Structure 1
Amino acid sequence: MWSAERRQSYADSTPDTRMVASKCGLYANRNANADHSCVTTRNQDPMTIFFTSGTTGSPKMTEHSHSSYGIGLTVNGRYWLDLTSSDILWNTSDTGWAKSAWSSIFAPWIQGACVFVHSMPRFDPTTVLDTLSRFPITTFCSAPTAYRLLVQHNLTSYKFKSLQHCVSAGEPINPEVMEQWKRQTGLDIYEGYGQTETVLVCGTFKGMKIKPGSMGMPSPAYDVKIIDKHGNALPPGEEGDIAIKAKPTRPFCLFTQYIDDPERTDSTLQGNFYITGDRGIVDEDGYFWFVGRDDDVINSAGYRIGPFEVESALIEHPAVVESAVVSSPDPIRGEVVKAFVVLASDYVSHEPEKLIKELQDHVKKVTAPYKYPRKVEFVQQLPKTVSGKIRRNELRKQEWGKA
């Protein structure tokens, strides 16, 4: 049943908007094919195989069961996407990736929500903003890369009459991007954290206080801890592995295996925990904070530096559109922070050395003096996976002569 406000939004919509709503089945019942018959499956029977995104190495073939994704993604739809049967969800993820299964198939279908689809050869910010203005989309799900591109436009010139809930996942979203989106649209971005191997691990859920930069709290599906290398839970404020309790009972929504790779499958378990491969901390309020992939954390003269914090500091500066931070060899410190920076068009002609010093001083001011990038390289674009995640491993290999 639509609310009075949503009925009015539909009444005010254009004919092509109503056509989409009709095809979504919001008010039209379709008879099932008479030849269709269901096949009985067991909960652990294989259902899907997705490749991981390949941000830190070669993609892995990840098997999920009828239970892990078929039922497990209920937590995504009900708690994080906050979907009801009255909602229209647009998820911009390409259909080849697990995020599409998360937010374009199982989560919305389980909740009875409508799935909006837009065919775009490539991500185009203007098309996305026009679409959010034209159609009665209530929930928007996209990657941080997309939001970073969207906030480069004047969002105040668009009116999102139906949009109520915005979420982001795939990699951490910079607090500065969240602030710009909120300031120009009046809408918050609710971050979610998970992997191809899992359903939602942590999230900021509707009604929760948003702590920009935090991935939120554990989802109802998992018991999440920050642990040391021995599998012991760490207290608030101490960095460790982000891990999910997997013994004595393995969560039903966790992946089954990496296909034809039992050794790698077994390597994900440490003591009683499934190890995500990500580093983080938990604060006194129970909010989790991402530090970086285990391979991405930079150890410079004994200091451990997470690339995400430095990248977030850089993007606060008006000169920076995007940045990627990796380790770079150094004869004294072992390794140092290096930043690859995509400049805003207004700053491309600025004197490089002066601008580098300005960016370095900015990072020192908003983080800590030892975290600033001692090396900065301006680039036209950053290497990304097909799903839009930054391939820091490619930049790191380039720095260490392993490309």
Structure 2
Amino acid sequence: MVSYEEVRRSFSWNEVIKFLDKNPLDVLTSHDGIAIKRFTKDVVEDISFSDLKRKALRLALYLREFHDVKKGDVIAVLASKKIEQVIVLLATFSLGAIYQPLFTAFGPEAIKMRTRDAKPKVIFYQDDQKDKVSDAIPFSKFDELLSYGELKNIEKINWDDPIVLLYTSGTTGAPKGALIAKRLLLNTYVYMKYGIGIRDSDVFWNPADPGWAYGLYYGIIGPLMFGKTVIFLDEPFNPERTMEFMEEKKVTNFAFAPTAYRMIAGTIKRKYDLVLERASSAGEPLNPEVIRWFMDNYNVTIKDHYGQTEVGMVVYNGWGYETKIKIGSMGLPAPGYEIDVIEDTIAVKRDSPGFHFLGYLNNPEKTKESFRGDWYLTGDNAYKDEEGYFWFVGRKDDVVKVSGYRVGPFEVESVLLEFPAVLESAVVADEDPIRGQWCFTKLFHLKDIILVLSKRD
């Protein structure tokens, strides 16, 4: 395997651009074999790449003909891990529209916050989410929608056209809608090749929820791009079940959030017969003791990676090259990216072709605040050592990281203030050994009696 220095020196964006310079539908479906395999306690289902493309084009025609979906319109999906949502994703790309995933743990108010700036032309949902949305299309209607012909004229998408809308939480105000350009595909290619270190022989599994960036970018788009089968285990996370599944499916390359690794290391008692060779962690720093536990018990190193919804994965201890690992460090800049520390904050140079953040929807002030000249400031405090390795310190603002998800205090406080007995509320982070942080909440009663909710209430 080549060294990190050699990869950095020889890396060419032109090669990546040439490989990906076509419609995302073709990028993600021009392969043979099974595209998606979905497992539940009761059902196993799959779909081939060719059927996935055919159904996406049929849905695209339906959306164009019956809902007048055009380039730039938003199509939202409220689902966990379903084949249907990938069909919607690819149909959206075929129309030049913008795909918006919605996390199933969101309540109606959270969904309302995320659909105000750009009202989706259509919302699809899995059937158990119907109480959260109105005037939407359930997945159970899919067979009817796919009975039409196929879209013939696939919309051309330029590199700077938006293809994804994802909301991120901040310190104050409502969540911000990050518009993501087609350049996301460039970032995804680089991360899958050099960060994840995907190989032809790999059975790859990223169980992260596709309602968030890591699950969407690198759990669906990334595997499909490289012709790998997307594996959906559509069940609530359980450490024993996760290890059992990895053993059963002979997973060789695994990527997940630190919370999952901590729960596995803290609860697993019996030995599983894993063939795991590569493991990656992203979302928040991973504890050194958890890394050592996996090395001692399964002879695999979990490599820590860093990224953000707005810019994708940009700093990591990559599997696609040889370099020294410093446990506790998030690693080195991704090939093709210039990363530095500005105002104690991780900063990403936006002249990289893989830089895909177009700004916050209807929020030019917040967009402007995020930049210093040509540098995008992530809001994550870090320092860089003498060898160029980055070390995470904490959030610059008071966003709470719960199991790798960014939770804005404002969102929680807003819900609490809906109760008539609550005059004011304040939410801050409280450290938790498993989930990283919990929302620690103080409620200020109208009669000035302060009620404190414990972190587990």
Q: TM-score range by the shorter chain?
A: 0.5 to 0.7
2:299 maps to 186
* AA at the equivalent of 1:165: R
CA positional deviation for 1:80: 0.6
1:275 maps to 377
* AA at the equivalent of 2:224: W
**Aligned 1:335-354 pairs, distance under 5 A:** 340=430
1:103 maps to 218
**What SS does the aligned partner of 2:330 have?**
strand
Of 418, 440, 457, the residue aligned with 1:395 is 440
1:254 maps to 356
Work out the CA distance in 2 between the residues paired with 1:339 and 1:64: 28
Work out the CA distance in 1 between the residues paired with 2:306 and 2:228: 22
Provide, for residues 115-160 of structure 1, a one-character-per-residue CA deviation record: whole Å limited to 9, x for no partner: 211111x211111011011002221111001111000134661111
Provide, for residues 332-361 of structure 1, a one-character-per-residue CA deviation record: whole Å limited to 9, x for no partner: xxxxxx995668xxxxxxxxxxxxxxxxxx
- In the alignment, is the contact (CA less than 8 A) between 1:91 and 1:100 conserved in 2? yes
Q: CA RMSD in A?
A: 3.5
**Aligned 1:153-192 pairs, distance under 5 A:** 153-154=267-268, 157-161=271-275, 163-192=276-305
Aligned-residue identity in percent: 33
CA positional deviation for 1:285: 1.4
- In the alignment, is the contact (CA less than 8 A) between 2:247 and 2:274 conserved in 1? yes
**Unaligned 5+ residue runs, structure 1?**
1-15, 229-239, 298-306, 309-337, 344-381, 383-387
Provide, for residues 248-288 of structure 1, a one-character-per-residue CA deviation record: whole Å limited to 9, x for no partner: x3654231111111110111011331111011111111110
* Residue 268 to residue 55, structure 1, CA distance change in 2 (3 Å): closer
CA positional deviation for 1:396: 8.0
**Aligned 1:3-402 pairs, distance under 5 A:** 23=46, 33=54, 35-37=150-152, 38-52=154-168, 58-67=174-183, 69-120=184-235, 122-154=236-268, 157-161=271-275, 163-206=276-319, 207-228=322-343, 240-246=344-350, 249=351, 251-295=353-397, 340=430, 390-391=437-438, 394-395=439-440
Provide, for residues 133-189 of structure 1, a one-character-per-residue CA deviation record: whole Å limited to 9, x for no partner: 10022211110011110001346611113x211000011111111111111111000
Runs of 4+ aligned structure 1 residues displaced above 4 Å come to: 20-25, 28-32, 53-58, 338-343, 396-399
**What SS does the aligned partner of 2:273 have?**
coil
Work out the CA distance in 2 between the residues paired with 1:264 and 1:75: 28
1:233 maps to none
- In the alignment, is the contact (CA less than 8 A) between 2:311 and 2:357 conserved in 1? yes
Work out the CA distance in 1 between the residues paired with 2:340 and 2:432: 35
Work out the CA distance in 1 between the residues paired with 2:326 and 2:365: 38
Provide, for residues 347-397 of structure 1, a one-character-per-residue CA deviation record: whole Å limited to 9, x for no partner: xxxxxxxxxxxxxxxxxxxxxxxxxxxxxxxxxxx8xxxxx6635xx4387
CA positional deviation for 1:110: 2.1
TM-score, normalised via structure 2 length: 0.56
Provide, for residues 5-29 of structure 1, a one-character-per-residue CA deviation record: whole Å limited to 9, x for no partner: xxxxxxxxxxx9xxx999475xx97
Work out the CA distance in 2 between the residues paired with 1:293 and 1:402: 27
- In the alignment, is the contact (CA less than 8 A) between 2:210 and 2:220 conserved in 1? no
CA positional deviation for 1:201: 1.3
TM-score, normalised via structure 1 length: 0.62
* Residue 294 to residue 48, structure 1, CA distance change in 2 (3 Å): same
**What SS does the aligned partner of 1:178 have?**
helix
* AA at the equivalent of 1:98: A
CA positional deviation for 1:398: 7.7
* Residue 243 to residue 32, structure 1, CA distance change in 2 (3 Å): closer
Work out the CA distance in 1 between the residues paired with 2:52 and 2:238: 36
* AA at the equivalent of 1:285: E
- In the alignment, is the contact (CA less than 8 A) between 1:241 and 1:275 conserved in 2? yes
Work out the CA distance in 1 between the residues paired with 2:44 and 2:238: 23
- In the alignment, is the contact (CA less than 8 A) between 2:240 and 2:268 conserved in 1? no
- In the alignment, is the contact (CA less than 8 A) between 2:336 and 2:352 conserved in 1? no
- In the alignment, is the contact (CA less than 8 A) between 2:345 and 2:377 conserved in 1? yes
* AA at the equivalent of 1:225: D
* AA at the equivalent of 1:219: A
* AA at the equivalent of 1:140: F
Count of equivalent residues: 284
* Residue 21 to residue 119, structure 1, CA distance change in 2 (3 Å): closer
- In the alignment, is the contact (CA less than 8 A) between 1:155 and 1:184 conserved in 2? no
* AA at the equivalent of 2:397: D
Work out the CA distance in 1 between the residues paired with 2:347 and 2:451: 30
Work out the CA distance in 1 between the residues paired with 2:369 and 2:429: 31
